[in-house]
Amino acid sequence: MSYWKVLAACALSVGLFAGNSAAPAQISVGIGIAPECPYGYYDYAPYNCSPYGYYGPDWFNGGLFIGAGPWFHGGRGFYGHVDNRYDPHNGYAGPMPARGDRAFNHFQGNEARDGQGHVGTAGHSAAGEHSAGAQRGGGGRGGGHR
């Protein structure tokens, strides 16, 4: 009887291991397209539109927002000025931008960020910076000072 048990166990083992095929794991992460916002969007999820005055001119190149978060298109070592008084993380609860709003023209930056939400030094003062006007999301490379 033990002969049949051993034979059955061997047959079962061969059957289980022979039918097992290794398949590589597939991981797909899609970030989608950048938000379409007239003055840019915050550099943290859920990437809501930021009001005019939050981003300074460093963040625009040729009239296009250089992006933030996963869509950041600035250069390595980039830090551009923001006015964090317009950040909901700092208590801002005012109006958000609407399509067709007039562009801000009195930017008053008080902090520099790198496009991924890290605070740092821009290497120049925000004083005297002028608005780049109404912008769209996404955009080209460049912007800011290195």
42/37 Cα distance (integer angstroms): 10
- Contact between residue 38 and residue 134 where contact means Cβ atoms under 8 Å apart: yes
37/142 Cα distance (integer angstroms): 19
Mean pLDDT of the chain: 73
pTM (2 d.p.): 0.54
pLDDT tens digits, 59-85 = 988 878 899 999 998 888 999 999 999
pLDDT tens digits, 123-143 = 887 776 654 444 444 433 334
Q: How confident is the model at residue 95 (pLDDT cuts 50, 70, 90)?
A: confident
Better-scored residue on pLDDT, 22 or 42? 42
Q: Which residues pair with 49 in a beta bridge?
A: 41
